[in-house]
Amino acid sequence: MPEGRPPKREEVARVLDYLPYGRAHDSRSYQKQPLVQAVGESNFVLMEMTPKEGVVPAAGTRVYIGSGERDVIDHVNRRIDYNELSNSAKLELPFEMQRIVLEKEARFIRFFNEAGPITTRMHALELLPGIGKKLMWAVLNERKKGPFKDFADLMERVKGLHNPEKLIAKRVEDELMDDRIKYRVFTSLPRVR
């Protein structure tokens, strides 16, 4: 994500969990309203939302949250941190991120085609879990021959690189879990407290 430019607002999110009685740590015994915890598809922003009355979205449901008419979500309440997710939402998060990565494959294959060095000793590809110097050089050498078309092409040309969608999803999860992570590749900066 380019420095200095504000991230694009999330338009679509994936439901991670539906909390029919709101947050568990909310001490109010009355006026508890249903909540939805979700992850945005563009910048992987974690958020808490209020569903429309009578709507019970299932985990994995794509919900429109941009400006305009919303069919499932009444409004977005706030951005949340990873540690505020319910246990169910934390379990669902890796699966939803893998689905997003697979559905937006062109965006993420571009990372493999364009990633460059971060420092003189570290390459952006090495930020993905499971990619060390050997795999990094294999990717760089193969992309000199031509850009990767998709994940299947990447896995076929770079022996030893399996399930790139899982590597990217794990990196996104790492970035969401750690507010002070040094390098952000796929997520926006955490909210200011």
Q: What CATH number is attached to the domain comprising 129? A: 1.10.150.280
Tell me: do 128 and 70 sit in the same domain: no
pLDDT in tens, 72-127: 888 899 999 999 999 999 999 999 999 999 999 999 999 999 999 999 999 999 99
Q: What pLDDT, on the 0 to 100 scale, is given for residue 7?
A: 52
Residue 130 lies in a domain: yes
Partners of 49 in the β-ladder? 36, 76
Angle between helices 164-177 and 105-114 (to 10 degrees): 90
> What is the arithmetic mean of pLDDT over 126-141?
94
Domain that holds residue 149: 104-177
Q: Name the CA dihedral angle for 139, 142, 146, 150, rounded to a multiple of 10 degrees.
A: -50
How many domains in the chain?
A: 2
Tell me: do 80 and 111 sit in the same domain: no
Residue 6 lies in a domain: no
Q: What percent of the chain has pLDDT over 90?
A: 68
Tell me: do 18 and 73 sit in the same domain: yes
What is the CA angle 47-45-43, rounded to 5?
155
Partners of 50 in the β-ladder? 75
Q: H or E segment at 2?
A: none
CA 51, CA 32: separation in Å to the nearest integer? 13
| pLDDT band of 28, cuts 50, 70, 90 | low
Tell me: do 109 and 69 sit in the same domain: no
Whole-model pTM over 0.75: yes
pLDDT in tens, 7-22: 567 889 999 999 998 8
Tell me: do 80 and 112 sit in the same domain: no
Tell me: do 53 and 111 sit in the same domain: no
Tell me: do 69 and 111 sit in the same domain: no
| pLDDT band of 190, cuts 50, 70, 90 | low
Kindly tell me if the per-residue pLDDT of 136 is higher than 80: yes
